[in-house]
Amino acid sequence: MILTEPSWDFYRTFLAVLQHGSLSAAARDLGLTQPTIGRHIDALEQAIGSELFTRSQQGLMPTDAALALKPYAETLASTSAALMRAASGARDTVSGVVRISASEVIGAEVLPPIIAAIQEAHPDLVVELSASDMVEDLLQREADIAVRMIAPSQDALLARHIGVIPLGLFAHRRYLDRYGTPEHLGDLGKHRLIGFDRQTAFVRAMMKRYPMLESPSFAFKSDHSIVLLNALRWGGGIGFCQVPLAKNNEDLVHVLPEIEISLDTWVAMHENLRSSPRCRVTFDALVAGLRNYLNPDTERNGR
Amino acid sequence: MILTEPSWDFYRTFLAVLQHGSLSAAARDLGLTQPTIGRHIDALEQAIGSELFTRSQQGLMPTDAALALKPYAETLASTSAALMRAASGARDTVSGVVRISASEVIGAEVLPPIIAAIQEAHPDLVVELSASDMVEDLLQREADIAVRMIAPSQDALLARHIGVIPLGLFAHRRYLDRYGTPEHLGDLGKHRLIGFDRQTAFVRAMMKRYPMLESPSFAFKSDHSIVLLNALRWGGGIGFCQVPLAKNNEDLVHVLPEIEISLDTWVAMHENLRSSPRCRVTFDALVAGLRNYLNPDTERNGR
DNA sequence: CACATGATATACAAAAATGCATGATCCTTA
DNA sequence: TAAGGATCATGCATTTTTGTATATCATGTG
């Protein structure tokens, strides 16, 4: 049997159905109609010679075959999105869309002023910021530029080392006034600790070093870093915080300063994007901004 | 202005035009007609808002914008091909297409018997072998499995270390009978040396170690490894050859055995493919076969 | 139990993409 | 210099794809 290559649009349809769980929902998402989506799936199944979904009236169940193809379809989608982004800017100007990926804390607390400064200098630059603690695979081009906490190990990556972000235990002054300040590690057992999920690189590193801080002792847990950070800021207890971040808030007190964890930080982007002005400018500005965040030597630490 | 996402098929057309250099040639390649291709390009240019080609009657010149988009389009194409390959095999059987990438010498001289053995055990397995000394980026999924000469440094890669392939200087007995056998490194200047291009990893490693073997002293050069290997086999001069390979040929004599270069060898594949039987089986068989090539300890070194 | 909601499948009309035929231009070659 | 070959552009008929409307079935709710 000869397989003629199916239309690439079918892959887009296929992914949408996979993501939305029904022909109708996929149709709404793509701006097409349900019969069209159904015919696309029919055609794709015919082209590859196996069933992709088991049809039922309340939706479609993906088969194993469909699930096996899903990562490829996702790569197609992110590559296509990256292509559109690359096409969005004129060649010799700093304009168009740049997509940045960073951890939640970095993305929410550190990057906004840096990005604002970039955009002040380059008004035509559009920034998409993906702030998530899930590891985004830079090579899938989900992001043009990534701020990462692990040393980039891939070949085609242009990476700049920012430095080591120290983390320490902090608490709000109000909390300490009320519950006292711990003097030794052992005192922590009597305190309200603010926890974190076990997914981020920083947590894994910490657990290795201070295994006594296991999750059972936490009084407040969330898988959302900003939630935890704000719990800390509102006096919810003692928790970890990036030291440079805490420095901006006079009410946060560094407790047990002998406990310290380091987050090695990098900015990485595709080598190909070096020649793209908008990516290059953003990359350089991110590197400079993050270094300034780490070591505010010059006095331009911005409002 | 709102950009509606263009049809993904346009990307395929775009890449074909880029690769073939004209609308007509791309049309022939894709099985469409030249006006259709032209309209696709028109539509794509309209969608992204910039010119992709400067039209002329003897072909199309890609603009800078088009060249910037090319890598993305290539990724789309290879991903789409990988998707088709992934779909080609039934789920629980060792069938369908596996694409292997290896260097020319490994691919042409070492792998064929190994692959033959695999296919003897699994008749429904179709193997595509890409034998090239260009580095194929495994993460672009151009190949499902790669035999590489550098340690895989990427995250999502399942890699197995094969061992170190030694390389040494060899010559055909006939050549040595006629021109004499070199006793010292300095003697090489009086001999016909068989050269190689400077692209492969092995060459770069060698040049570091034996800078005296610079290209000017070569009597025969080619950028094609098999050509060189065959020149050696036919008595064309003295050149490098993988030691295990030369062992199979009684007429090849190891000269100046103190000169030795090592090629560290790995087999790598995507972690996702671990659950694909055809890839998993091929991967394991390649690892076993290559290890046996390196150390034929058991006496099943096959015909 | 009736009814509203949301799902897929199908028939037919409308819209869009494609192919064909042709013309114009440029480069190569005899 | 003239002919041949290859290219892109354009008008028109045809094929293909898409949308609309409707039928049917399952599920959850008052």
B50 touches chain A (CB under 8 A): yes
Number of cross-chain residue pairs from A and B with Cβ atoms under 8 Å apart: 106
- Whole-number distance in Å between A35 CA and D20 C1': 10
Do A158 and A179 lie in one domain? The reply is no
A134 part of a folded domain:
yes
Q: Nearest-CA neighbor of A15 among A82, A59, A99, A78?
A: A78
B303 part of a folded domain:
no
Asked if B36 CB < 7 A from strand D, the reply is no
A155 touches chain B (CB under 8 A): yes
Do B156 and B271 lie in one domain? The reply is yes
Do A174 and A98 lie in one domain? The reply is no
Q: What is the CATH number of the domain that holds A229?
A: 3.40.190.10
How many CB atoms are closer than 10 A to CB A281? 16
Can you read off the two tokens belonging to residue B165? 């392939």
* Bridge partners, A159 (sequence order): A268
Contact B12 A8 (CB under 8 A): yes
Q: What is the pLDDT of residue A224?
A: 65
pLDDT in tens, B205-249: 566 666 655 544 566 766 567 777 877 888 878 888 899 999 888
Do A37 and A67 lie in one domain? The reply is yes
Contact B131, B107 (CB under 8 A): yes
Do B47 and B189 lie in one domain? The reply is no
Do A77 and A224 lie in one domain? The reply is no
Q: What is the pLDDT of residue B212?
A: 58
Check residues A272 and B72 and name the one with the higher pLDDT: B72
Q: What range defines the domain where residue B103 resides?
A: 88-161+265-294
Q: What is the pLDDT of residue A284?
A: 92
Can you read off the two tokens belonging to residue B99? 């694409």
Contact B83 A11 (CB under 8 A): yes
Q: What is the pLDDT of residue B136?
A: 47
B13, closest residue in chain A (CA to CA): A8
Question: What phi, psi does A61 have (nearest 5°)?
Answer: -100, 120
Do B78 and B153 lie in one domain? The reply is no
Contact A155 B153 (CB under 8 A): yes
B54 touches chain A (CB under 8 A): no
Provide the shortest C-alpha distance from residue B142 to chain A (in Å): 12
| Residue that the structure tokens 């010119």 belong to | B51
Question: What phi, psi does B123 have (nearest 5°)?
Answer: -65, -20
Q: What is the pLDDT of residue B301?
A: 42
Mean pLDDT of A39-47: 91
Contact B50 A87 (CB under 8 A): yes
Residues of chain B with C-beta less than 8 angstroms from the C-beta of A75:
75, 79, 141
Of A85, A100, A117, the position where a domain reaches its end is A85
R_g (Cα) of chain B, nearest Å: 24
| Residue that the structure tokens 């692209």 belong to | B199
Q: What is the pLDDT of residue B189?
A: 75
Do A36 and A75 lie in one domain? The reply is yes
* Bridge partners, B125 (sequence order): B96
E-only strand ranges, chain A = 53-56, 59-62, 96-102, 125-131, 145-148, 157-172, 193-194, 218-220, 239-242, 252-255, 261-270
pLDDT in tens, A164-191: 988 888 998 988 998 889 888 778 777 8
Please name the nucleotide lying closest to B20, CA to C1'. Answer: D7
- How many separate domains does chain A show? 3
User: Residue A138: pLDDT band by 50, 70, 90 thresholds?
Assistant: very low
Of A56, A85, A114, the position where a domain reaches its end is A85
B155 touches chain A (CB under 8 A): yes
The DSSP code sequence of B87-103 is HHS-TTSS-EEEEEEE-
Cα separation of B141 and B80, whole Å? 9
- Tell me which of A18, A36, A53, A72 to substitute to probe the interface with B (most B C-beta atoms closer than 10 Å): A72
The shortest CB-CB distance from B11 to any of A50, A83, A90 is to A83
Q: What is the CATH number of the domain that holds B36?
A: 1.10.10.10
Do A112 and A190 lie in one domain? The reply is no
Do A97 and A131 lie in one domain? The reply is yes
Asked if A12 CB < 7 A from strand D, the reply is no
Of B28, B52, B85, the position where a domain reaches its end is B85
Three-state secondary-structure class, residue B137? coil
B80 touches chain A (CB under 8 A): yes
